[in-house]
Amino acid sequence: MSNYSVEAISLIKVFGRRLIFNNINFTFESNGIFGIAGSNGSGKSTLVKIIAGIISPSSGKIIHKCDNEEILPEKLHNHIGFVSPYLVLYDEFTAWENLVYFSEIRGFQLNKDRVNYLLEKFLLINRKDDLVKTYSSGMKQRLKFIFALAHSPELLILDEPTSNLDSEGKEKVYTILKKEAETSIVIIASNEETDLEICASKLELEQYKKISNSRIRGEIVR
Amino acid sequence: MSVKAYSLFRKDFHSELRTRYAVNSLVMFIIVAISVILFSIGTEKISQSLTAGLFWVVIFFSAMSGLARAFVSEEERGTTMTLHLIASPSTIYSGKLLFNLILVFMMNIVIALLYSAFFDAFIIKNFLLFVVTFILGNVGLAVSSTIIAAIIAKAGSKGTLYPVLSFPILLPLILLVVQLTLNSLDGTSFEQSVFELAMVVCYDVIMLAASYMLFDFVWKD
Amino acid sequence: MAWKIFLFLLLSFVSVAGIAFPIVENPIHWYQFPLIRGLEQNAKIIFFHVPTAWLTVIAFLMSTIYSVKYLKNKNLDDDAKSYAAAQLGMIFCVLATITGAVWAKFAWGSYWSWDPRQTSIFALLLIYGAWFALRSSLESEEKRATLSAVYSVIAFLTVPFFIFIMPRIMKGLHPGSADDTNAGPVVNFKMNGNMQLIFFLSLFGFTILYFWMWNIGYKSLIYKDRINKIYTRG
């Protein structure tokens, strides 16, 4: 059970003149699976990228805390595991080499036992020394999971986690996510019913698209 | 932090060894650039000052050809987000700077050797001065080129924009090192070149400090 | 309103005085300027060339300052102010380069001789050009503001180098220029009282003109932006 929490305060995101979402507030703590639901193009990927610290909100804050101390943005990356359809791994390297480099760049020696365990769990152990270039999309998706889990993050963020997976793959993922949720926070952004079923609570992105709130006028139209 | 940056450098270096994108085109560019100059000159004898200038011209354009790749390739392949997830901005910058530094040195040693072979006036009388100029100038070139590469990686029309943005920033450095190279060719003493050398050191230090501080803004979306 | 009329009168006076007042050997009347060796009739350009060069530097400084403010506060209004300053700076830079080249032709015999000041103003022109090229290649307004702000700061840091190294380097390479460190006569020594007065009035007038144009420029950018945003978001 980690003492991790992530809090969103009045998050607003605007791209040029398009409002993506307005005034999102939430707090996720210690462990469990939380969902972010919305149709295609509703801004789910944008929201999870903001939570992961990859892009900045137009207004508002996102605060990550571990043991009640706020984590600085530069140090955030080792606390987070991120899976997304937009994530790309280096296809000129093998799966193993990718994982070794990622670990070293993060600043740890590769935890060989953990990585081998994950490779077995995700059925990639036989292909770990093959170039990622030769992987199918389902295999790449599974490798992304290993990338997200290898450093045992306190916060796991998943954007469309079961895309490119067959039903057997999906079941495996749900089992693993439920296990992870016992000790870490898992956030799933998806429009798949089966994905959202395993979530304890859900945030519906459609509810945050109104701009009639005069506060947002003041905020964006300075 | 430096171990992490070094690992990033090793990843880039390893990737380069596997794919050979940069090295092939860069070597060809250097050969073509020098050939163009040699053909244009023909049998004319060119002065030492012109040779010194042309030396850094080829270096500048070769740098423009090869140094943007560190950031542009990540952006084009979509692996920028991956880097975001594994390293802090200062680690990224350090790793990429190290890669460009090694690239600049390797590239410029080749250029220097080719110049010694093909240009009559390129005879170095003050070798110590040349080496010091070479090292300090390459560092400045790498530092400035790397931060500008980070900027243009996020823009459109990257290829043409890179020299346009880099030249004004590199101009003070180029003026200094051309003068220093000329000094080393015609045998001016080290003592007489101290002012220019001090200026190059200042340039290197200031650009390095500024790059580190500004990189965060460039990197974070 | 009153100060605008005042400004108009001031600049009109300066322009007329600068162009029309005759230059004679031994000035007697208040409207006559002394003859400066080497410049003779061309001295009048000093009333227009120096202010443009002065303003392009001021504009560059202001553009960089507002860039730094933007980086700290992320307020797009600061980006608009920086942009408005750079627009004016670019115009004045072109004017300064041209008036300088014209002056150079008469004073030294050729339009361009890589004199330190000439090279510096040319380098500034390149910096402005690069800055606008960068901005036009970026779609997202936040990215545009951030990256051009970073470039402003980097470019600003190279300016001291030009000031220090130019005279040393250029003298060695290009011994052509007469009094090589100055693009023109020293203001204090060779001008007499009323010439100095016209000169400083010109400087003052153009500076106020600049701030006025900058004010209008950045406000129109901000309003245009806000109208667009209200209009499309209801």
Q: Does B217 touch chain C (CB under 8 A)?
A: yes
Segment B174-198 mean pLDDT: 88
CB contact under 8 Å between C226 and A19, yes or no, is no
Does A86 reach chain B within 8 Å, measured CB to CB?
yes
- Chain C touched by A16 (CB under 8 Å): yes
Distances (CA, A) of C181 to B174, C42, C166: 21, 19, 9
- Report CB contact under 8 Å: B217, C139: no
Q: At C94, is the secondary structure helix, strand, or coil?
A: helix
Between CA B206 and CA B213 the distance in angstroms is 11
Q: What is the 3-state secondary structure (H, E, C) of A42-62?
A: CCHHHHHHHHHCCCCCCEEEE
Among B214, B216, B219, the residue to mutate for chain C (most C Cβ within 10 A): B214
A115: closest CA of chain C, how far (Å): 38
* Complete domains list, chain A, with CATH: 4-220 (3.40.50.300)
Would an 8 Å CB–CB cutoff place C130 in contact with chain B? Answer: yes
Structure tokens at B25: 């085109």
Strand order in the sheet with A4-15: A18-29, A4-15, A59-66, A69-70
Residue with tokens 């090192």: B177
Which of B85, B98, B212 has the most A C-beta neighbours within 10 Å, making it the best mutation to test the interface with A? B85
pLDDT in tens, chain C (234 residues): 788 888 888 888 777 777 777 666 666 666 666 666 556 666 677 778 888 888 999 999 999 999 999 999 888 889 999 999 999 999 999 998 888 888 777 777 777 877 777 888 889 999 999 999 999 999 888 899 999 999 999 999 998 888 777 766 665 433 333 444 444 444 444 566 677 777 888 888 888 889 989 999 999 999 888 887 776 554
- A76 lies within 8 A of chain C by CB: no
Least trusted range by pLDDT, from A103-112, A197-206, C31-40: C31-40
Query: What DSSP line would sit under B46-70, residue for residue?
Result: --HHHHHHHHHHHHHHHHHHHSTHH
Q: For chain B, what percent of residues have pLDDT higher than 70?
A: 100
Contact C229 A17 (CB under 8 A): yes
Is B221 within 8 Å of A101 when comparing Cβ atoms? no
Cα A13 from Cα A211, distance rounded (Å): 12
The per-residue pLDDT for B85 is 93
Single-letter amino acid, residue B75: E
Tell if the CB–CB gap between B7 and A82 is shorter than 8 Å.
Answer: no
- Rounded CA-CA distance A172/A170 in Å is 5
**Can you tell me the distance from the alpha carbon of A43 to that of A53, in angstroms, rounded to the nearest whole number?**
15
Residue B112, token pair as written in the block? 């220097």
Region of residue A79 (left: phi > 0; alpha: psi -120 to 50; beta: else): alpha
Alpha helices in chain B (DSSP H): 2-19, 21-41, 48-66, 69-77, 80-86, 89-118, 127-153, 158-186, 194-219
Cβ <8 Å between C165 and B176: yes
- The CA distance from A47 to C80, in Å, is 28
Which residues of chain B are within 8 Å of residue A102 when distances are taken between CB atoms?
A: 82, 86
ipTM > 0.85?
yes
pLDDT tens for each residue of B24-74: 889 999 999 999 999 998 888 888 889 999 999 999 999 999 999 999 999
Neighbours of chain B (3+ CB pairs under 8 A): A, C
Candidate from A87, A92, A105 with C-beta closest to B87: A105
Cβ contacts of B90 on chain A, cutoff 8 Å = 74
Q: Which two tokens stand for residue A107?
A: 């600043």
Distance from CA of B220 to the nearest CA of A (A): 7
Chain C residues touching B211 at Cβ < 8 A: 154
Question: Does C150 contact chain B (CB < 8 Å)?
Answer: yes
Residue of A nearest to B8 (CA): A105
Q: How confident is the model at residue A94 (pLDDT cuts 50, 70, 90)?
A: very high
- Measuring CA to CA, which residue among A50, A31, A10, A4 is closest to residue A189? A50
C146 within 8 A of B217, measured Cβ to Cβ: yes
Q: Is A105 on the interface with C (CB under 8 A)?
A: no
Q: What is the mean pLDDT of residues B148-167?
A: 90
Q: Count CA within 13 A, CB hemisphere, residue B189.
A: 2
The per-residue b/e assignment along C52-66, b for 16 or more CB within 10 angstroms, e otherwise, is bbbbbbbbbebbbbb
Using an 8 Å CB-CB cutoff, list chain C residues near B168: 123, 126-127, 130, 155, 158
Structure tokens at A202: 């859900």
pLDDT at C7: 82
pLDDT at position C129: 94
Q: Does C146 touch chain B (CB under 8 A)?
A: yes
In angstroms, the CA C150 to CA A112 distance is 42
What's residue A217's pLDDT? Answer: 46
What's the whole-model pTM score? 0.88
Contact C128/C89 with Cβ under 8 angstroms? yes
Residues in A closer than 8 angstroms to B3, CB to CB, are: 104, 107
Contacts for B132 with CB less than 8 Å, ≥ 6 apart: B190, B197
Q: Are strands A59-66 and A4-15 parallel, antiparallel or unpaired?
A: antiparallel
> What's residue C172's pLDDT?
40
Which candidate from C75, C77, C232 shows the least CB-CB separation from A17?
C232
| CB-CB under 8 Å, B4 with A92 | no
Cβ contacts (< 8 Å) between B215 and chain A: which residues? none
**pLDDT tops 90 at residue A181:** no
Residue C164, min C-alpha distance to chain B (Å): 9
Mean pLDDT calculated for residue range B154-171? 90
A122 touches chain B (CB under 8 A): no
Chain C, 65 to 94: residues with Cβ < 8 Å from chain A are 75-77
With vertex at residue C45, the alpha carbon angle to CA C41 and CA C51, rounded to the nearest 5 degrees, is: 155
Q: Which two tokens stand for residue B119?
A: 């240009």
Contact A221 C141 (CB under 8 A): no
pLDDT bucket at A69, cuts 50 / 70 / 90: confident
CA distances from C117 to A194, B170, C172, C206 (A): 71, 18, 15, 21
Q: Which residue of B has its CA nearest to C162?
A: B172
In angstroms, the Cα distances linking A131 to A97, A111, A123, A176 are 9, 21, 16, 25
Residue given tokens 């227009």 in the structure block: C48
Residues 169-188 (A) with a CB less than 8 A from some CB of B: none
Give A19-28 pLDDT, tens digit per residue.
Answer: 888 888 988 8
What does the angle CA B64 – CA B66 – CA B70 come to, to the nearest 5 degrees?
A: 110
Task: Give the C-alpha separation, C203 to B27, whole Å.
Answer: 53
What is the residue-averaged pLDDT of chain C? 79
Judged by CB atoms closer than 8 Å, whether chains meet at C134 and B49 is answered as: no
Which has more pLDDT, C22 or A50? A50
**Side chain identity at residue C87, one-letter code:** Q
Contact B141, B170 (CB under 8 A): yes
- Give the nearest chain C residue to B198 (CA atoms): C165
Q: Count CB pairs under 8 A between chains B and C.
A: 86
